[in-house]
Copies of this chain bind each other. A is one copy, B any other.
Amino acid sequence: MDKNLGQAPVQELALVEKQAFEMPVYTTQNGSTIKQLKVGWEAYGTLNADKSNVILITHFFSGTSHAAGKYTADDAAPGYWDAIIGPNKAIDTNKYYVISVDTLVNANVFDKNVITTGPATINPDTGKAYGLSFPVVTIADFVEVQKALLDSLGIAKLHAVVGASMGSFQAIEWATRYPDKVERLIPVIGTAYIDAWAAVKLERWAYPIKTDPNWHNGDYYEHGQPKQGLVTALAYIIQDAVFPTGFNMRYPAPATDAAPHNNILASFSAWDQLMQHAAMRAEVQDANHILYLIRASQLYRAGMGDNWQQAIKNISAKTLFLPATGDQLLYPAMAKASVDAMNAGENHAGAKQADYAEIPGIWGHLDGVVGIAAVADKIEALLN
């Protein structure tokens, strides 16, 4: 990271403030109605006079709109992409107004810095949590809510949309639905479609929740969460996002455990520690929200119709796919197939629009978050 030598020094962002955006009523893609919809958002940098310097950051499955900076000076860590978002960083807040929005059905609904609407929200019509009466929402709904927020701010064009993983789905959907509004597109550890393999893999995250006797078909808000199912789901999510090399650095080898040789019910330290790690995350998460995020992810394909390969040709944004080499969840071949579909046959000016580069690292999918600095120069180059 010598890129700033001889340039303005990298500085820290000013303290970040969470803001709320509310819609009196929102109609979902499947025709349902959500009243008093609320989502949180935050922004870094300054909106210019003609509102042409906006970069939208769309967040991943387990993430929130907290992409950079700190809420208070005492925060243990800044937002997840602080390595690339800030003054004189790759996504330079001295130039750009960077905005990020909590999705609908955000996983971290009980985090005090998250504002979202989903199954854990009180339905104003009943005074009780929605539970499974909350409608299925899709990546297109996430995008429409973001668009309503941007419209309310008078922002008509995006210099770029950049998002990791489930954030890549939102970014691609923005560029597919609103090709004239999105000038640049960077899907990180992303894909334009979920295939059968990935949909089943995601369903396996849902299984421990749905089979937890405390789930009560999603109607648990008066009993307490299906804790074991939720924690197990989060453990699976953690593992599936990490390449074995990184995972094995973090969790002890089976040879360290004696009990499993003698007791079929004894567990391995690696499992126990993973579950503890997951349990900490579960403190602020909601089991039904996880189910809805799984569903939104499973259903994703560019344009949300029958033919994502056709829909993706709609995109006119200059595009750079950045998969992680060791990704075993949204594996690089998916990004490659997405790029190929964008560049195939006759396209807008017949020109190649989409580029592809891999993020190196030992963390697999997670390298799209913790290893993002490795491609900071590529991101900066596409933006400028």
B132 near A265 with CB under 8 A, answer yes
Given A136-B261, A199-B270, A254-B199, check contact A244 B299 (CB 8 Å).
no
Instruction: Name the interface residues of A146-195: CB closer than 8 Å to any CB of B.
Output: 193-195
B254 near A301 with CB under 8 A, answer yes
Residue of B nearest to A208 (CB): B207
Q: How many monomers of this chain does the complex have? A: 2
When distances are taken between beta carbons in the complex, the residues of chain B under 8 Å from A254 are 194-196, 199, 298-299, 301
Instruction: Name the interface residues of A206-238: CB closer than 8 Å to any CB of B.
Output: 207-208, 211-213, 218, 232, 236
When distances are taken between beta carbons in the complex, the residues of chain B under 8 Å from A124 are none
CA distance A381 to B149 in the complex (A): 67
Residue of B nearest to A247 (CB): B197
CA distance A178 to B271 in the complex (A): 32
Interface size class of A (residues with CB under 8 A): 35 or more
Indicate if A353 sits at the interface (CB-CB under 8 A).
no
Indicate if A253 sits at the interface (CB-CB under 8 A).
yes
CB distance from A191 to the nearest CB of B (A): 11
When distances are taken between beta carbons in the complex, the residues of chain B under 8 Å from A331 are 244
CB distance from A30 to the nearest CB of B (A): 5
Of the candidates B213, B265, B291, B307, the one whose C-beta lies within 8 Å of that of A264 is B291
When distances are taken between beta carbons in the complex, the residues of chain B under 8 Å from A193 are 253, 255
B196 near A248 with CB under 8 A, answer yes
Scoring A251, A255, A264, A305 by chain B CB atoms within 10 A of each residue's CB, the highest score goes to: A264
23 contacts between A and B (CB under 8 A): A134-B264, A136-B261, A138-B261, A195-B244, A196-B254, A196-B270, A197-B239, A197-B242, A198-B244, A199-B270, A200-B239, A200-B268, A200-B271, A203-B271, A204-B239, A207-B208, A207-B232, A245-B333, A254-B301, A255-B305, A255-B306, A264-B295, A268-B298
